[in-house]
Structure 1
Amino acid sequence: MIRVIFIILIFLNSTILFSQSSGGLIIGDIKVTGNEGVSKDLIINTSGLSKGSRMYGEDLQYAIKKLWGLDLFSNIIIDAEQNVGDKVFLNIIVECLPRLSTIKVSGAEEVDRRDIEDVVLKYIMQGQSIRESDINRVKVSLSNLYKDKNYLLANIEIDKRITPNGRAELVINIEEGSEIYIENINFHGNYNFDKDDLLDTFQDTHEDAWWREGKYDKEKFRADKQLLKQFYENNGFRNVEIVKDSVWYNDAGDELNIDIWLTEGHKYYFGDISFEGNTINSDDKLRSVLNFEKGDEYSKEALNISLGQGLYPMYQDKGYLRSRITPQEQIVGLDTINYTFKIQEGVKARIRKINIIGNTRTSEKVIRRDFNIYPGDIFSRSKLLRSQRNAFMLNYFSNVMPDAKQVSDTEVDLEFTIDEKSTEQASTSISYSGNDGFIGTLGFAFNNFSFSKPFVRGDGQRLSTQIEFSKKYWRYSLSLEDPWLLDTPTLVGASFNYQKRKEKYSDTYLKGGSLKVGRRFAWADNWLRGIWIYNIQNVEYEDVEDDSPEEYELYNGKNITTSSITQYFIRNSMDRPEFPTRGSEFTIMTKVAGKLLGGDEEFHKHQFEFQWYQPLIKDRLVIMNQYIFGAMDKFSTSAYISAREYFFMGGSGLSGSEPLRGYDDNSIGPRSNGYYIGGKNMFKTSIELRLKFAESPMLVYGLAFFDAGNVWSDFKQADLFDLNRSAGFGIRVFMPMIGMIGLDYGYGFDKYDIDGKRYGEWLPHFRLGTNI
């Protein structure tokens, strides 16, 4: 809109007064007219003019400029209505911009009218002045709205019509055109890679296909061109150039085409590799951490990785925090680049102090005792990252950010900034088991507790109490644990439990307790720890069915005492507790009952478990592999093993069995008289592909899985080719104060009916309030 400005600075008599007096005029009074809907005080204050002040010619110019800056008026006049002596009386006359009354939209078929109105009201509210700048913003936003829906050539015209009451109707006329997708992407000058190779480098710009829409976005296309350049640079073509590109539409205006012209240049290879200035590390040692060798295709990425993940960490691990490494290249012939890495090693830096910021709940000693680096130590990058990992694995913090601040050439301060998260879990949960039906849980788990100052601070100690109940059983447990007894890496703990259970073949009453001792091992690789648990349990079987397995009948109405020691060796190098992306966990369990320990049961039981994690895409897509082996036997043929000690498998594992999704709980393995009785040997493998959807404010990830496993009555019958298989998908949500919520839907391939005919079936597995 073209604004016509009529500015009358002052009437003729005032002009004469200004010309005759160099001392200016005193403002006798100021009034404002025409200011409908705009505050008089706002206008006067913005103008800079005030009653009683002396006014000069330039003050009027300044006042007019400031009032136009409000962008609220279509016309501004400052009139000198009267002057008496050296006093002047001003009238600021304004014509306000029209205010929005209604919105009229025509031509919108593919975009909902309400969406268009929402865009308008984002910039111009009902009753608000309609400014040209706001109209332009509305037009740009509506254009982007149509582009998001792939109407790239939509034409949008906006006009305002003044209504008889002086208000304005905003009229939006839209010519949507056709929905446009990318029909072709053509490359010119690509002699070393075909079109498909180059298209694969694009992340968001694709040709239209039945499985994928070919949407065009200017900014995303610009980013994809950079990916194309990086692809060439990482495959030998260091001098590649994207000369130009052209984005054009066909004559019908319903297809988009892209042409890209390239100059590939020569293909280069890495030549001789040498080092200068290195006294701490030998050439061979430095060469061993490079991500390329002589004769490899030139790769800019390999060069950067060699610096950032190879050479610099090697020096930083030895304290040379300020080392400088400069790669110098020399082109030999047409296709070879020799590299000389010039190294300024500097001097070693020691840790002056370590600061911890953000621990509003957790005692500082709890964090420091898990660090691998201390004040006075030579700086080590690997120890710094290991300390960060250890703090994460405490599972008390949502984020741990380390930073190294150079104090001098020889000193550095470390700073760990942490974000506390809730570590208490109120276990009010519902789970479902195919064997037990719905299982309710009531309890509390304090994972960062303080026995000396409960509910005030966190000393890393653990206290939990829980009641589980269903139509078939109820169970109560209480446990206490201190992972650092007397500030040493020695774990101690105790627990008590009582359980009443209605089995298929008996009523079972169990009560027991345990004592736990653990220790980190310094002689290994400090990922390893050992745990020893002494457990004593008393079990009573009552109302045993006549067709139950023989061992239940023998002990009907009797108390059976089990005295055992269980030993765990655990090596855990996972990087995160809830969504590991790399690392592994290796566990060896050995349990011995009876003999010198006393009790009615005499057996030895062994289990080996290994799981590892590997990131596939930027720590968001992760593959997890798991293998579990189990074996047990009696010490003698006359010895007794209770049914609960055998290996069971199937379902979600809520009944104490090894989980195998797609099957009912405890439904895999040997049977007797129609009952699953467990076995002495067990094997299971699982593969999961995990995709993280969100990390804040809560962790959410989905998964696809394949499980296979079986239980056998003895070692002779074990057959790793005779496995019950399943596959499916699931989701996990980790919520503070609740824990992990999980839902899996698994298809069991190897179920058998009463006639021995195999069939498959989908089964859900739901858990709430439990880490899974």
Structure 2
Amino acid sequence: MIQRLFTKALFFLLTFFTVLSTIGYAQDTAADSLDIEINNPLEVTPSQYEILSLTVEGGSHTVRPSFIKNTSGLEVGSTITIPGDDISQAIKRLNRTGIFSDIEINQVGSTANGIHLQISVVEQPRLSDYEIRGVKRSQRSDLRERLNLLSGFAVDKSSKTQAINTIKRFYREKGYWFTEVDVSTSEPDTVRNRVTMYFDIDPGERLEIKDIRFEGNDQYDEKKLRKTLDTIKEDRWWKFFSKKLFKQEDYEEAKSNLRSFYAENGFRDFRIVEDSVFTYNYKDDKEGVGVWIKVNEGPQYKVRNITWEGNTVYSDERLTQALGFQKGDVFNESKFDENLQYTQGSTDVTSLYHNIGYLFFQVQPEINVVAEDSLDIHLNIVEDEIATISEVSFTGNTKTHDDVVRRTLRTIPGETYSRQAIVRTVRELGTLGYFQAKNITPVPEPNYQDKTVDIRYELDESQSTDNFEFSGGFGGRGIGLILSAKLNFNNFSMGRALRGEGFNPIPSGDGQKLSLGVQVTGSGYQSYNFGFQEPWLSGKPLSLGVNFNYNLIKYRNTNIRNELFSSSVSLGKRLKWPDDYFTQRTVLSYQLYDVAGGASFLAEGTSSILSIKEVIERNSLDNPISPTSGSKLMFSLEVAPPLPSFAQFYKAKTSYQNHTTLAGKLVFTNTVEYGYLGYLGSGQRSNFQRFMLGGTQLQQRQSFINDNIDLRGYPGGNNGSITPRIDGEEVGGRLYSKYSLELRYPAVSEDQVQVIPYLFTDAGNAYLNLEDFSPFNVKRATGVGVRIFLPILGLVDLSYGYRLDGLPGTNPPVNAGEWEFLFNIGTPF
């Protein structure tokens, strides 16, 4: 009996001490991983115990005891197994919060069937603030935007490591190597347990790429492949305009460019097998970056057969033509995808169907490799049914009235769906100038069951359409100080103004244009003008324009005084033939010239001109400020008939400009212009409005006497224009030719500002008579310029041109080899 009691007592003691050794330990959360070791020298049979009570020691107002209990997963009344992993799992759960630096779960009492537990914790210090030291202020500002460190967060090893990685990644993106970051903290305050973190940063060195090598390239040499990379380049002594730094983002794009290059040249199986970026001493103790790329080019595939299945609307030949491949062509993957899905000119296969209503059209290509380096392309087509436009809506026009937007839409409910009509609508809305063109988003919402589609246009009217132009400058060559001011209300509402509505500050929303301007040049030139245009007369696509101008020139130290009063009324309409990009405009003008004191070939006295002008224009530009695609063709014929007491003439002008995107945002523009002034019979001939080239409209002091043609690099104005001269006097040309080439890049394209630098070459000349006309005997200039657009000020054009040819007979002389600065307000397109 005594022996059995002794054995039971011994077993109870062993079990009791085993429980204590199991639940009485601490865990340091600063360790990289949780390492729990339970000393259990004797094998003990696990037993279940009820948690009789659960208390918390070390909680605060920030971390409440209830949170600690809930997070641990331990509950009063629940049963835990000892030995077992219930306690260790509770500690792990608390540890994962990252809030505590020390955690203990201890037994504080027990009975035969249950135990009393206490959770003791020590909180991690909390972040009060942090400082970044050792780097420039701009970098500190950029780093604060990236670091995800908020006041009140626990300062633990994980948050420190994440911050260090963020800092190093920031400097690596900027081309720095060997960045070092030391993190320290202040002593926690005794009240709130808050600390300040300090980041002491050594950015390291900005190393340039000194060597780019390839391995496995048989078809193309390394020089060609380096150019293909584009975004990363080797440093060479002559490339002194920029540092050739290694940035990971640029490197990833470079590898993508390399893959695209091979894919566009038929190497569908091309792979980058291995690559490495490293630093090395390229010269003495100077370090640089080396890049090594190992490639597997694979075979160059060519097209063998192209077959179509499922097409009934278009023939195989028409679809193959749209696809742009013939038998034997090298397979260009980028061209294939583009010609199958979408091209800028809507000549792709999908657009062929979408433009005639087949919205639900699908095409599935099957590309099979045959004979090792050839491809058979089979395209399965599901034409489906034609979709009809059900509803068209738009949002975002906060100021512009709905009817102004609605009349611009090319997608009409009830009509057949057309992708081309959507593209055209986006272009038309963008050229209104009321909305951010790049933010106009069409959202088709197809209903396959009903074979219909709803179209919603999301507009952004954040930009101001009205602007106040004010400028000043020096015209040179006796022109003097130029001051110009102009108010342009480009979304005016005359109806609301007459009703006394909408003055906040200007009645707007009807798409009408109202302009008021004044220009003063020194004390000798004044110009005042008023213009109004209604683009949609009586709810029809007819435009009505009215203009009035008064101009005055007084020549210094002479009695010469020239005045001009002019007025015009124009009526225009859209045309549907030859296509709907054409417009026609008729302009009726009256001009009254008053010449006092004699002015060379101009007769003293008054001269009246009544003329009618027809203008035919085709305009497919995608943007009126800085076009990236499209063209503009214009032909005008103005006739002043030989009426009694009126001067007579006829004038024909034509111009053509084309805009092409070369690569990325780089745009090339070429322009050609010609003009001719003739006379009808033997009536009173007008010597006004002859052609003079050079300068800008803003800097032309005699703009109302002559027809001044802008030409950069030449000053224009008195004794500075490109024009025929008789006895040293400028008489103006009856013919002119002008050519222009421009390469521009929109460097800044933000909502509130656009900056567009460009290179240009201009050439032109004016000729006295038809027999003198020689279209390529021109005066040339080349140079640089920049256009700056601000919604409130409009477009300002600055150019600096270098003359390749001089102008004989000018005083002061306009010589070759000189630079000419010009500025203008208003769009050249």
Question: What is the TM-score when the length of structure 1 is the normalising length?
Answer: 0.85
State which drifts further: 285-294 or 322-331.
322-331
- Offset from partner CA, 1:255-300 (integer Å, 9 cap, x none): 3333322222222210122211111111121122122111101221
Of 222, 231, 237 in structure 1, the residue corresponding to residue 267 of structure 2 is 237
Shift of 1:167: 9.2
Q: Contact conserved, 2:100 with 2:121, CA < 8 A, in 1?
A: no
Report 1:129-528 matches (<5 A). Answer: 130-148=155-173, 150-158=175-183, 179-210=206-237, 211=239, 213-250=243-280, 254-309=287-342, 310-399=348-437, 400-409=440-449, 410-420=451-461, 421-430=463-472, 432-434=474-476, 436-454=479-497, 455=502, 457-471=508-522, 472-503=524-555, 506-528=560-582
Residues 697 and 824, structure 2, Cα contact 8 Å, conserved in 1: no
The amino acid that maps onto 1:197 is K
Q: Secondary structure at the match of 2:488?
A: strand
AA in 2 matched with 1:665:
G
Q: Aligned partners of 2:427 and 2:127: how far apart in 1?
A: 60
State the 1:90 CA deviation: 8.9
- Map Cα deviations across residues 330-353 of structure 1 (whole Å, 9 max, x no partner): 333232212222211111111112
State the AA in 2 paired with 1:461.
Q
Letter in 1 for 2:101: S
- Partners of 1:178 and 1:254 within 8 A in 2: no
What is the aligned-residue identity percentage?
A: 27
RMSD between aligned residues? 4.0
TM-score for the superposition, normalised by structure 2: 0.79
Corresponding residue to 2:710 among 634, 659, 663:
659
Distance 1:71 1:264 in 2: 49
Determine the structure 1 residue equivalent to 2:677: 632
Aligned residue in 1 for 2:652: 606
Residues 665 and 79 of structure 1, relative CA distance in 2, 3 Å threshold: farther
Letter in 2 for 1:648: M
- Partner Cα separation in structure 2 for residue 723 and residue 274 of structure 1: 54
Q: Would you say the 8 A contact 1:536–1:563 is kept in 2? A: yes
Secondary structure of the 1:750 match is: coil
TM superposition shift of 1:68: 5.5
- Is 1:291–1:305's contact at 8 Å kept on the other side of the alignment? no
Moved more, 134-143 or 575-584: 134-143
Measure, in 2, the Cα distance between the counterparts of 1:132 and 1:280.
67
Shift, 1:490, TM fit: 1.6
Q: What is the identity, as a one-letter code, of the residue corresponding to 1:491?
A: S
* Cα separation, 2, equivalents of 1:275 and 1:182: 49
**5+ residue gaps in structure 1?**
7-18
* Stretch deviating more after TM superposition (193-202 or 55-64): 55-64
Q: Does 1:727 align with 2:782?
A: yes
Secondary structure (helix, strand or coil) at the match of 1:716 reads: helix
Q: Alpha-carbon deviation of 1:747? A: 1.7
Q: Distance in 2 between matches of 1:702 and 1:440?
A: 25
TM-superposed CA distance for 1:686, in Å, is 0.9
1:653-687 per-position Cα deviation (integer Å, ceiling 9, x unaligned):
22232111222123221235654332211111111
- What does the per-residue CA deviation read over 1:49-86, in whole Å, with 9 as the maximum and x for residues that have no partner? 89xxx956799999977875664553457899999xx9
2:814 and 2:527 mapped to 1: Cα distance? 38
Give 1:159 shift: 5.1
From 790, 799, 820, the counterpart of 1:763: 820
Determine helix, strand or coil for the equivalent of 2:274. Answer: strand
CA gap of 1:490–1:119, structure 2 versus 1, over 3 A, is closer
Distance 2:48 2:364 in 1: 75
* Aligned residue among 568, 581, 597 for 2:615: 568
Cα shift at 1:317: 1.5
328-337 or 483-492, which moves further after superposition?
328-337
Query: Shift of the alpha carbon at 1:611?
Result: 0.8
Whole-angstrom CA distance in 1 between matches of 2:29 and 2:496: 73
The answer to whether the 8 A contact 1:325-1:344 is kept is yes
Q: Distance in 1 between matches of 2:139 and 2:178?
A: 19
Q: How far does residue 185 in structure 1 lie from its aligned partner after superposition?
A: 2.3
Q: State the shift of 1:567 in Å.
A: 1.5
User: Is the contact made by 2:132 and 2:201 (CA closer than 8 Å) also made in structure 1?
Assistant: no
**Cα distance in structure 1, aligned partners of 2:127 and 2:423:** 60
Q: Kindly tell me: are residues 357 and 273 of structure 1, through their superposed partners in 2, closer, same or farther at Cα, counting changes over 3 Å?
A: same
Change in 2 beyond 3 A, CA 1:215/1:709:
same
- Structure 2 residue corresponding to 1:539, chosen from 571, 593, 596: 593
Pair 1:622-2:659 in alignment:
no
User: Could you tell me how far 1:390 is from its partner in structure 2?
Assistant: 1.8
2-structure distance, mates of 1:217, 1:103: 26
- What corresponds to 1:16 in structure 2? none
The one-letter amino acid paired with 1:729 is V
Tell me the CA shift for residue 158 of structure 1: 4.1
Matched position secondary structure for 2:692 = coil
The answer to whether the Cα contact below 8 Å between 1:433 and 1:652 also exists between their aligned partners in 2 is no
Paired with 1:114 and 1:681, the residues of 2 have a C-alpha distance of 58
Tell me how far 1:612 sits from its aligned partner.
0.9
Q: Distance in 2 between matches of 1:537 and 1:507?
A: 16
User: C-alpha distance in 1, partners of 2:490/2:126?
Assistant: 63
* Cα gap change, 1:125 to 1:265, in 2 (>3 Å): closer
Counterpart Cα distance in 1 of 2:70 and 2:369: 71
Instruction: Determine the C-alpha separation between the residues in 2 that align with 1:24 and 1:758.
Output: 105
Residues 308 and 503 from structure 1, CA distance in 2 versus in 1: closer, same or farther, beyond 3 angstroms?
farther
Q: How far did residue 614 of structure 1 move?
A: 0.6
What amino acid is aligned across from residue 780 of structure 2 in structure 1?
R
Displacement, 1:173?
7.3
**Within 2, Cα distance between the matches of 1:633 and 1:640?**
9
Deviates more, 1:245-254 or 1:690-699: 245-254
Whole-angstrom CA distance in 1 between matches of 2:418 and 2:195 = 69
SS in structure 2 at match of 1:340: strand
**Distance of 1:302 and 1:742 partners within structure 2:** 37
Query: Residue type of the partner of 2:738?
Result: K
2:38 corresponding residue in structure 1: none
Check if 1:688 corresponds to 2:742. Answer: yes
One-letter amino acid matched to 1:405: E
CA 1:175–1:700: 2 relative to 1, 3 Å = closer
Aligned to 2:635: 588
Report if the CA contact (8 A) 1:744-1:766 is conserved. Answer: yes
Number of the residue aligned with 1:746 = 801
Q: Which amino acid aligns with 2:246?
A: Y
Contact 1:181 1:214 in 2 (8 A): yes
Counterpart of 1:254 in 2: which secondary structure? strand
